[in-house]
Amino acid sequence: MLVNVKETVVETSSGEKKELGDYIGQVLLIVNVASQCGNTPQYEGLQALQDKYKEKGLVVLGFPCNDFGGQEPGTVDEIKKFCSSKFGANFEIFNKVHAKGQTTEPYTTLNKVEPIGDVSWNFEKFLVGKDGNVIARFQPNIDPFNEEIIAAIEVALTI
């Protein structure tokens, strides 16, 4: 099933509504993040991905989520400060979301991507092409610099 995020409306960290369609023409890596998770060191890799491919059009979007083990209890400002001070991460962080159960966007839309269903844990990744179509879904334990992710990003950036 083809899933497109162009009309998906999310909430920025300042509470403003934003359409993911605003990113058309860029490749997105959308990740549900958490500051107290075993996968939290992936923040560093996510930032490194954005640094490496930003000029070619990659944008990493982080959506804090407290659905899994209560591992993201902080406020958005606390989360952003933690990300930048501990991991040097300055990619865009949005308001907290729900990625399972009573989901909020972007996960109400993203959870329709194969394998269909709720996000399984913190740091699940969705790669979105320049046209807004979701290209791939990567499990939480897959490191941002995994060969499969790098290959998918490089292909998406050339299309």
Note the pLDDT tens digit of each residue in 14-65: 999 999 999 999 999 999 999 999 999 999 999 999 999 999 999 999 999 9
Out of 27, 37, 61, 110, which one is annotated catalytic?
37
Note the pLDDT tens digit of each residue in 92-122: 999 999 999 999 999 999 999 999 999 999 9
Place of tokens 């740091």: 123
CATH number, domain with residue 14? 3.40.30.10
Place of tokens 């075993």: 38
Please give the model's pTM, rounded to 2 decimal places.
0.97
Q: Is 65 a catalytic residue?
A: no
Determine how many CB atoms are found less than 10 A away from the CB of residue 67. Answer: 22
Q: How many domains does the chain divide into?
A: 1
Q: Which structural domain, as residue segments, surrounds residue 144? A: 9-158
